[in-house]
Structure 1
């Protein structure tokens, strides 16, 4: 069937005037470089909307020399699998959470430090400034290239079935699902909760059957996973911020001529900034939408949570793990933590 369609298109093109036929000839020429870009988000997420625009702009401005093919929704494998492919060069570009990248680059999770960032202004000042530059330097040591602008995943919020989270005392004894990560487990133990590591595909049933009382995630995930069906409260704790580093395999990146690299980096970074604005609008819309579905919202004061973590020695512990240089850069951006 596809052969017939191509044959018909060819016949139609043969009778067309030259001004119409010539763009088809240009399009038929193979790009000099065809790179794969993988991510773990749905095709409709702002990340992929902006990535498609980005890829089209790069193809156009490079005169067709660099084509980027996008593979959303973990089509090429899990985050761990795709990171391995990125390192080997089987995938040229990949966007990955710093919290997951920390399995390879420990400093990459520092942006997820509990209750460090008070708002987005503080996030972008740090991640577009010295803290982001430090993490990119550490990523470079692992043989990867991180683009200058980190993309937004969002602040994480807490949902529960039995009570809203207003003060740190409300977390005491709370059975809370967390991803398998030392940073999460350490933070919630310091807040006297009972963190339980559960794979995300089991979260809905764990909440439904009361294996856990609550969980934490950005609003977009709370909405798409329909967690509002099995939770009553959403406390806007903003306890962690996470973003996606746009990563390139170093060998693949350096194979590109310098002028092509400049064009690619420019459009990737511009797309990242637009995605940030998109996510901010999406979050505002999602809160209203989730409230209309019965989820009760509240916004607790973050300072008592910070004080509790400080008193429990949480910040001192992670200061030791990240090292003095990284910790000093973080505190210059967010204020004294430890």
Structure 2
């Protein structure tokens, strides 16, 4: 309709009249290119596609999200820097990486910080967490759209049973390249090795690492059952993910588009998180059928105690205590 109106104005020689309002009647459209490192068969990918569909429908096509799996747009750290510069790119990330900018927020990726979806929900109303998000946007250009995405419990996947932190001594365990993650794995007894997600399988084949710490749903997608024998249920991190976009880009959106982006992300995140936790038992059975041993004989009390050191080393024990007080943990 807009193009027809413009052509009509031109044909009738009515540019002397105010035909500029023809342009204003058609709202500007926006596109977000959203990147994540997981494969196309992961529950998260399906969740992101549902988020994209809901946003596009709610905005009548005014805001479209193109989802890219398997880090197709690039490495997470590189994407985050592009986001900071104002690019219309989004990234599925975590508090550990956000802690590189606002140190306190890294507590959300520390050992046993939260252990239920109900506790995660309470974080959304915690004043300290809200303050950290405001600082990320104002000082570093990173707008947290949602952190209502929980990828499940992270466990140690190795080639021998792990019962206590002492059993991890000397084992090289892959971790993402973020300080809280490195210190968490070190506190729990292992030697952390920073490595990109896509490098883990060849790293295990070549014995550059002795194991990984991941959520159950990562294992079938990455075929890690081919190179690892034991799933040790340490549940050491309930993995909260952040969906992050450029604060500058977000501020350029109409208010109704901002609301759609945030609200639909939270809705899709909660649905996906609950689905993932329901699927864990099913994935366990899949891994058993493929020859893996599920080790539930883990001293969780010993791991919880050991994990406290990570917060001390990172000097964020006070931040942890403040948030726990706010959520009643």
TM-score range, shorter chain: 0.7 to 0.9
1:87 to 77, 84, 89: 84
* Equivalent in the alignment of 2:30: 34
Which one has the bigger strand percentage? 2
* Equivalent in the alignment of 1:177: 174
Q: Give 3-state SS (helix, strand or coil) of 1:153's partner.
A: strand
Contact 1:145–1:247 (8 Å) recurs in 2: yes
Pick closer, same or farther for the CA change 1:135–1:218 going to 2, 3 Å: farther
Q: Deviations over 1:67-87 (max 9, x none)?
A: 333333322221122112212
- Tell whether 2:208 aligns with 1:194: no
Which deviates the most, 296-305 or 50-59?
50-59
> Unpaired segments of 5 or more residues in structure 1?
1-28
TM-score after normalising by structure 1? 0.78
Moved over 6 A (4+): none
Q: Give 3-state SS (helix, strand or coil) of 2:236's partner.
A: coil
2:313 to 314, 317, 333: 317
2:231 to 234, 240, 253: 234
User: 1:117 & 1:243 partners in 2: Cα distance?
Assistant: 9
User: 2:65 & 2:176 partners in 1: Cα distance?
Assistant: 31
1:290 to 283, 287, 291: 287
Q: Give 3-state SS (helix, strand or coil) of 1:70's partner.
A: strand
> Matched residue pairs, number?
302
User: 1:261 & 1:178 partners in 2: Cα distance?
Assistant: 33
User: 2:254 & 2:198 partners in 1: Cα distance?
Assistant: 42
* Equivalent in the alignment of 1:247: 244
1:280 to 277, 282, 286: 277
Contact 1:98–1:242 (8 Å) recurs in 2: no
2:164 to 164, 167, 171: 167
Pick closer, same or farther for the CA change 1:122–1:210 going to 2, 3 Å: same
Pick closer, same or farther for the CA change 1:191–1:87 going to 2, 3 Å: closer
User: 2:56 & 2:202 partners in 1: Cα distance?
Assistant: 44
Q: Deviations over 1:153-206 (max 9, x none)?
A: 222111121x21112222233333333333233234334433344444443344
User: 1:158 & 1:249 partners in 2: Cα distance?
Assistant: 33
2:305 to 304, 307, 317: 307
Q: Give 3-state SS (helix, strand or coil) of 2:234's partner.
A: coil
